[in-house]
Structure 1
Amino acid sequence: MQSNRLIYILALTMVLSSMSATMFNIVLPKMSEEFQLSYSQVSWVSAIYLLIYAIGSAVYGKLADLFKLKSLITFGLVFFSIGSLIGLASQAYWMVLLGRILQACGAAVIPATAMIVPVRYYAAERRGWALGITATGLAIGSAIGPVVSAMLVSFADWRWLFCLPLLLLFTLPMYRKYLSDEQGNGGRLDWLGGALMAGTVACLLLAVTFESWLMAAISAVFFLLFVIRIRTAEAPFVNPRLFRNSSYTLGLAIAVLVVAVGYSLPFLTPQLLAEVHKLSPGLIGFVMVPGAAVSAFLGRKGGKLADVKGNSTLYSLASGLLLLCFFLLFLFAGMPPVLLAAFLIFGNVGQMFMQIALSNTISRTLPQEQTGVGMGLLSMLNFLAGAVSTGVYSKIVDQGASFSLSPLHALPDSYVYSNIYLVLGLTIMLAWMMYSIRFGRRQQLGREMTGK
């Protein structure tokens, strides 16, 4: 009973945190105009948050193997509140970025907790249900985030978006009550390794944003030093032994592809609706609501389907829904926004189902003693994929396209979006084949052995 209460508290936390992660996407065009910056430059408001969120989720995942999880939650939520207050008072673009950085440093404890609690507190046969609950919280946050953001910016300055996530503080007493007092076994955290990883991705994003070969070279150097560090450090930031587990490694690779593709939906859609369809931030939010709302409604059903029919079945269903979404967007990116809202339903539901299936699949490849760092690394790579893809998408949009591979377009401004959606659909097909070859056969073998 206590674990059930904990998972619902975690779902509530996911609602609020997912609002914070995506609500600024709607106002990026307005910020670009106010600060006189390109879209790829203001995209750092999202990218820097995801970057710090990614590194931080892995750090918290490692710390969860060493210290009390309730202590980490307390620290993270308080730090998150400090960043929110700085962003609320910002008068320059650098202050906006500072607020987002500090927010991410604290909020990164949430995805780490969302990965760890279902694994630690639930048996394997109920883990899909638990992951479904947290995924539902994520979907609900995505559903109400655009609505709340749209309503707020319709009568107030966009900086007030920093204030909404402060509601997370109300969940802190409940975490203090329901999380156990289990103490970690102590140890050290490889801060140098974490810094080298952060430097690798930050320089890669700078290289993409500013087309700098120098930053690309520095990123490569940081990555080489990171590899050397984790191979030589006594307690490395990422244990290389994790990657000897081929099933875990392949699962991570698929997750990176899937997240990079999926983040196009909340990131590219507002820009498409603003640039091509000339919608205001308020209307953009309402176009994105139906898909997120339906995915929120179906979240628990996805978790139950994974428990009953298996992760492979859920993953195949998710792939089909995403393929349908991207194919329709490829053909009709320039069509009326009401059609785009309908297409996003398939994409949002597919993305949520895929997250449940992949999280459940990857968790079963790990021994119990490595669940904290293993799932923390998954969370880190998920957000790193989102951060890097953000930089890539924004740069491609800035460059535009003079042709479309779709024969059905009437609006030249939509060409670049249509072409991107085609490539993303092909990427989903590749990820589905990789998953089916490795994990689909394993599930079938397990069913044959159990006679199911």
Structure 2
Amino acid sequence: MNKMARVAIPIVLVIFTLGVLQLQAFGMIYVNIGDQLGQPGLAPLITSLPGIVLGIVCVIYGSLGDFVSLKKMMILGTIVFVLGSVLGCFGKTSIWIVIAARILQSAGWQVSGSIFLVLVSKYVEKKNRVIWYGIFVSVFRFAAALGVFLAGYMTLVDWRWLFGIGILAVFFIPILMKTLPDQHAKGAKIDAAGFTLIGLFAASVTMFFTDMNWFWGLACLVTLIAFVVYINKAKTPFITPKMLTNPAFAMTMVVIFVGYFFSYTLNAGINAIGLNVYGIDSSQVSNLLVWSIILAAIMGFAAGPIIRKIGRKASVVLALGCMGSGLIAVALLIPYGQIWALALAPCIYYFGTSFFYQPIVDTATLTVSAEETGRALGFNDLLQAITGSVGVALFGQLMSQGAMGGSSLSGTPAGLASTYSNVFMIGGVIVLVAMVIFIASMKMIYSHSRAAQDEA
């Protein structure tokens, strides 16, 4: 069984790679798709709604991994991913077909990431696990770069070919059937009602910023009240009122929410600047942007030792400072040409991301008891997906409508150039606000957490 499982590990990783590629590719070119289908206002939903689903299933799959048959989970997830890929090939009929296809892909693909981690932890020798974990992070980064690179070129042919790439996963199902463990145990309890309510709330907020009207505003209010009432009444909610009212945990979540608010918007915004300001196509944009993502992949290897050397606090401040400065740099450098704005400035942002995830997640888990660590990790993943989804819905609308196009601090001419400059400027300021919040609250965060014993 161990030998068979080790055969399955690289196959699962291949399917994970296909999913990351799709995630990054469509996150970059949803603007192109919306324009082609005549629905630029709804285009951000191609990224935002699947992002919410992704955040929810991250928590669910992580909870199920130790109990449900890995074979059944992986086969079902791969089938859903392939079905989404097939559906996407008919995407030129309606933008809602594209959105539905991406939701199915996201829901199915995430199984591979969760199962990969379970397989490595259970079936790989302890001394070799760190190698596979490093490969996992590396594959994510380089698959992201490949997704951005391919996305630009696919727009010159037909973006539906990206969905076609996902169909390749079907050929790995027979191998997975033979090699994945089929063991299962009792004990998994999924808070279906809690996830449904938080999902409905997140979707309502996203739709409100996409199509602002009283219905979605009312839906936000109703679902939020229902969620708060539920977690106070339920016996085992996935997130407890005690955790949410824990000041150290709550403030860490605020930093994460504000810090990741622009995360889903960056690539699409860079693509829009290339298309509408410099008049270049998405393939040329991808050639410029891909280097910043490759930098993040390389820094992924070097960041760990640096973080251990300078500590959690300094790492989070460095990360948010670079992320915010990178977005502001894009805004200010638009008048100076595509190399500066689309290639060099994003490098600052992506450099910062290499120092953010590990220390802030580590901090979040240390603000709760050891028994609540899993819930803290799950809520962190969910919050990242929600904030990125809400952010891309809001900023995507501003960009598609040409809002704030009168002028900008960078001196861009009136029109879309000023719109993009102002959007990136606001995004950068928001991230820097997260840095200020963290600096102002980090003494409280660490003094009220288990991190206090090893962090000065």
**8 A contact 2:31–2:268 mirrored in 1:** no
Q: Once the 2 structures are TM-superposed, how far is the Cα of residue 299 of structure 1 from its aligned partner?
A: 0.8
Q: Once the 2 structures are TM-superposed, how far is the Cα of residue 344 of structure 1 from its aligned partner?
A: 0.8
1:162 aligns to what? Answer: 163
Matched, 1:446 2:448: no
CA distance in 1 between partners of 2:376 and 2:22 (Å): 25
Aligned residue identity for 2:424 = Y
Aligned residue identity for 2:142 = I
**8 A contact 1:14–1:141 mirrored in 2:** no
**8 A contact 2:320–2:432 mirrored in 1:** yes
**8 A contact 2:327–2:349 mirrored in 1:** yes
- Give the alignment partner of residue 106 of structure 2, picking from 104, 107, 123: 104
2:139 aligns to what? Answer: 137
SS at structure 2 position matched to 1:403: coil
1:208 aligns to what? Answer: 209
SS at structure 2 position matched to 1:328: helix
1:29 aligns to what? Answer: 31
SS at structure 1 position matched to 2:404: coil
2:379 aligns to what? Answer: 377
CA change 1:368–1:396 in 2 (3 A) is: same
Identity %: 20
Q: Once the 2 structures are TM-superposed, how far is the Cα of residue 409 of structure 1 from its aligned partner?
A: 2.4
2:331 aligns to what? Answer: 330
Q: CA RMSD in A?
A: 3.7
Q: Once the 2 structures are TM-superposed, how far is the Cα of residue 217 of structure 1 from its aligned partner?
A: 0.9
Matched, 1:434 2:437: yes
Cα deviations across residues 404-429 of structure 1 (Å, max 9, x unaligned)?
A: 34143246421122222222222222
2:190 aligns to what? Answer: 189
1:415 aligns to what? Answer: 418
Once the two structures are overlaid, the 10-residue window that deviates more, 418-427 or 1-10, is 1-10
SS at structure 2 position matched to 1:163: helix
CA distance in 2 between partners of 1:167 and 1:364 (Å): 41
Q: Once the 2 structures are TM-superposed, how far is the Cα of residue 294 of structure 1 from its aligned partner?
A: 1.1
CA change 1:412–1:297 in 2 (3 A) is: same
CA distance in 2 between partners of 1:365 and 1:105 (Å): 29
Larger RCO (alpha carbons 8 Å, 6+ apart):
1
Q: Once the 2 structures are TM-superposed, how far is the Cα of residue 433 of structure 1 from its aligned partner?
A: 2.9
SS at structure 1 position matched to 2:336: coil
CA distance in 2 between partners of 1:119 and 1:254 (Å): 30
2:352 aligns to what? Answer: 350
**8 A contact 1:320–1:350 mirrored in 2:** yes
Normalising by structure 1, we get a TM-score of 0.84
CA change 1:389–1:35 in 2 (3 A) is: same
Correspondence list, 1:20-419, <5 A: 20-37=22-39, 39-64=40-65, 66-68=67-69, 71-93=72-94, 94-110=96-112, 134-154=136-156, 156-167=157-168, 183=184, 185-340=186-341, 341-397=343-399, 398-410=401-413, 412-419=415-422
Once the two structures are overlaid, the 10-residue window that deviates more, 334-343 or 236-245, is 236-245
Cα deviations across residues 54-89 of structure 1 (Å, max 9, x unaligned)?
A: 222222233346535564344322321211111123
CA distance in 1 between partners of 2:454 and 2:179 (Å): 35
| Unmatched segments (≥5 aa) in structure 1 | none
Q: Once the 2 structures are TM-superposed, how far is the Cα of residue 228 of structure 1 from its aligned partner?
A: 1.2
CA change 1:65–1:4 in 2 (3 A) is: closer
CA distance in 1 between partners of 2:260 and 2:132 (Å): 20
Q: Once the 2 structures are TM-superposed, how far is the Cα of residue 225 of structure 1 from its aligned partner?
A: 0.8
CA change 1:313–1:157 in 2 (3 A) is: same
CA distance in 2 between partners of 1:54 and 1:89 (Å): 26
CA distance in 1 between partners of 2:180 and 2:111 (Å): 14
**8 A contact 2:331–2:410 mirrored in 1:** no
Aligned residue identity for 2:428 = G
Once the two structures are overlaid, the 10-residue window that deviates more, 12-21 or 350-359, is 12-21
Once the two structures are overlaid, the 10-residue window that deviates more, 196-205 or 289-298, is 196-205
CA change 1:73–1:293 in 2 (3 A) is: same
**8 A contact 1:265–1:347 mirrored in 2:** no
Once the two structures are overlaid, the 10-residue window that deviates more, 182-191 or 311-320, is 182-191
**8 A contact 2:152–2:282 mirrored in 1:** yes
Q: Once the 2 structures are TM-superposed, how far is the Cα of residue 333 of structure 1 from its aligned partner?
A: 2.4
Cα deviations across residues 209-237 of structure 1 (Å, max 9, x unaligned)?
A: 12112211112101111111222223324
| Unmatched segments (≥5 aa) in structure 2 | none
Q: Once the 2 structures are TM-superposed, how far is the Cα of residue 347 of structure 1 from its aligned partner?
A: 0.9
Cα deviations across residues 288-317 of structure 1 (Å, max 9, x unaligned)?
A: 111011111111111232234322232232
Normalising by structure 2, we get a TM-score of 0.84
Q: Once the 2 structures are TM-superposed, how far is the Cα of residue 284 of structure 1 from its aligned partner?
A: 1.9
SS at structure 1 position matched to 2:390: helix
Q: Once the 2 structures are TM-superposed, how far is the Cα of residue 349 of structure 1 from its aligned partner?
A: 1.8
Aligned residue identity for 2:353 = Q
Aligned residue identity for 2:230 = R
Cα deviations across residues 236-267 of structure 1 (Å, max 9, x unaligned)?
A: 24333433544333222211212212333123
In the alignment of these two chains, the number of paired residues is 446
**8 A contact 1:128–1:307 mirrored in 2:** no
Cα deviations across residues 418-444 of structure 1 (Å, max 9, x unaligned)?
A: 222222222222222333324577868
SS at structure 2 position matched to 1:353: coil
CA change 1:11–1:296 in 2 (3 A) is: farther
Cα deviations across residues 133-190 of structure 1 (Å, max 9, x unaligned)?
A: 5443332122111212223333x32111112234556787998899888855424433
CA distance in 2 between partners of 1:242 and 1:181 (Å): 35
CA distance in 2 between partners of 1:21 and 1:11 (Å): 15
